[in-house]
Structure 1
């Protein structure tokens, strides 16, 4: 991780010294992200196993990378506050690294073109409509335990604490006793609700899948126009992420620990959700080729998944409104024209 980040920083430092640093920084960031697609996923999966000083060294380098992005944003948007520049810089970085978590359908030169256009769209996001509030509401897992919990409440508490522990420590390093202690029950009592730790993880992932399915059902039931459907999907997904950040994090880092059939089921659900959302986007914007629409939705979901777990962003009281605005900008990215006619006609 350190070697990869040092290489990225060296290239960004060189870009910042070029005659046109703003464009050079964005272009370099995208090229580095595509060349080192394994690096963000390695960080997501394994950083919690680093020694504290090594983890700090990685975070320092990541912050230095965002400093270059902030410079490009400040140059283009001098009217923004420092907090707004910081938020947009992290969102732009998430767009750049989004191919680390998804299959890249496009040829790399075209993928780079789409990512650059998407980052520029993010940088131009109008944040003036996002209301400012003092602090975010508590998530469900932050709520204090009452003196008595009925069976249903206790089961939900076990699920919430397991999701949090799996996200922080990783599935292999969390025991049933750890989950029970966090939920206020004995370790063996967890088995009254779940057959095994793997079964508990499966229930958590199924809960995520059901929430996403409910979101699409809400859009379909409303018989919304494509534009209104996009707005509903975006706000619904952002709100879900803000309310259940651990559920989203688990889908990135822990599904590999599911039994093979369950992992395959989840991957199918995720791919179908991306495809359905992209079809709505293509309907609203027929000038967008389907593979590009899917790439934009993958970028949007990556921004949300990373933002709700990023302390620099999650403390914002207006986090939901900021991410909704960024999501709208991503889906409004100008159409990319390139000489790949066969690929662009793919459904």
Structure 2
């Protein structure tokens, strides 16, 4: 559908919603290539206007990010703000249907929720957090009504897990019909919301560097600290001085171990790729059938995420910032890993079409990595066992 237009000087016409159009295009580019990987000129060219024309609507690129993020959040709040039913609340099924529809409609921009929020200022991040709390409450409230034995904390935790399932559609480009994607996501989220509640977990705190990387040479310490910083702040927000300070050395000393920041990121990816490949091989080698292999893969992935949470998060979030020479090779490795999950789940659930299999695999993997941003991965809380159960539920194995 063409955008409504208004007359401007010279007889040309400008869409009434030009500002929203710019934000939409920018959001898609941010999610595809990362916020720092996109320039104003590229946004303008994609919209079909000049770069100066963008400034008629936005002061700078950051203003576009804020506007686009608000637009995504507003869409979610609008979708879930149905008029109250006779009992005072929209039903759980209503909210799941609305969120599933939102996930497919905003598939190309939901990455703003997944990763790009890291580039917001504390003020805007707090605003985003408040809106996310409202969204969680809209899902947790009918859940609590349906399951009155749940504590408010348990209902909120399950609601967050469900949101991770809907958000997973934006983490991949696997082809699937819109209605089938909505159905698969809705059913998986419903199953998770009716799962056992999680054990208590605490809010995220600054993690100690990965012990498996810290114990070693100075080079390993530099790599460990860079991974933690990349995970917390995003690749572009970290500089060599930050890494050196975290490792307890001068910035110039970092270059003794790595030629530059891009090489550090590539080293992190190769390290993560090795860990994932090793964990997968170990899981498959000890299995006697496909069902056992899939359960061992689930255990292995959760264990890896607990042991290397910073590494896994960077591995999934910073693809677009890799040097070109490394990017294609590492993406191929990632795809092969996902395809192993798809092969196993397809064998265990032969009645499930392959597109739905892929959607569920990505949903299960995203649930673990997404929740790692919100809770501290401490085996003492029992969260690892709960995540194993949730992955099993999403994949339809329970």
The TM-score normalised by the length of structure 1 is 0.85
Which gives a bigger RCO, structure 1 or 2 (Cα 8 Å, sep 6+)? Answer: 1
Q: Is the 8 A contact 2:199 2:383 kept in 1?
A: no
Task: Work out the CA distance in 2 between the residues paired with 1:228 and 1:136.
Answer: 33
Q: Give the superposition deviation at 1:172.
A: 2.2
Q: Per the alignment, do residues 18 and 187 of structure 1 end up closer, same or farther by CA in structure 2, a change over 3 Å counting? A: farther
- Please, what TM-score do these two structures have when normalized by structure 2? 0.75
Structure 2 residue runs without a partner (length 5+)? 1-68
**Separation of aligned partners in 2, 1:135 and 1:213:** 30
Q: Distance in 2 between matches of 1:16 and 1:10?
A: 13
In structure 1, the residue matched to 2:354 is 290
Is 1:321 paired with 2:385? yes
Give 1:77 shift: 2.3
- CA–CA separation in structure 1 for the residues paired with 2:147 and 2:318: 38
Aligned with 1:82 (options 142, 152, 164): 152
Match 1:179 to one of 196, 219, 243? 243
> Which residue does 1:163 correspond to in 2?
227
- Give the counterpart of 2:98 among 22, 25, 28: 28
1:9 aligns with 2:77: yes
2:209 matched to 1:141? yes
Unaligned runs of 5+ in 1: 335-347
1:119 alignment partner, one of 189, 193, 196: 189
**Cα deviation 1:217-263 (Å, max 9, x = unaligned):** 11222133222212211111112112222212212332211112311
| Cα shift readout 1:49-98 (whole Å, capped 9, x = no counterpart) | 22222111111111111111112322332222222212111110000111
Q: How far apart are residue 131 of structure 1 and its match?
A: 6.6
Give, in whole Å, the separation in 1 of the partners of 2:71 and 2:329.
Answer: 35
* Matched residue, 2:110: 40
- Mapped to 2, the partners of 1:234 and 1:93 lie a distance apart of 20
SS at match of 1:332: coil
Q: Is the 8 A contact 1:140 1:243 kept in 2?
A: no
In structure 1, C-alpha distance between the alignment counterparts of 2:230 and 2:178, rounded to whole Å: 34
d(CA) in 2 for partners of 1:230 and 1:87? Answer: 25
Report the 3-state secondary structure (helix = DSSP H, G, I; strand = E; otherwise coil) of the residue aligned with 1:13. Answer: coil
Change (3 A) 1:137 1:22: closer
* Shift in alpha-carbon separation, 1:138–1:219, aligned structure 2, 3 A: farther
Partner of residue 341, structure 1: none
Report matched runs for 1:227-242 at 5 Å.
Answer: 227-242=291-306
Distance 1:134 1:5, change over 3 A: closer
Contact kept in structure 1, 2:294 and 2:345, CA below 8 Å = yes
| Aligned counterparts of 1:232 and 1:59: Cα–Cα separation in 2 | 35
Matched, 1:108 2:143: no
Aligned residues: 326
Q: Please say if residues 202 and 258 of structure 1, whose CA atoms lie closer than 8 Å, have aligned partners that are also in contact.
A: yes
C-alpha change, 1:115 and 1:133, in structure 2 (3 Å) is: closer
State the distance in 1 between where 2:330 and 2:264 align.
15
2:270 paired with 1:206: yes
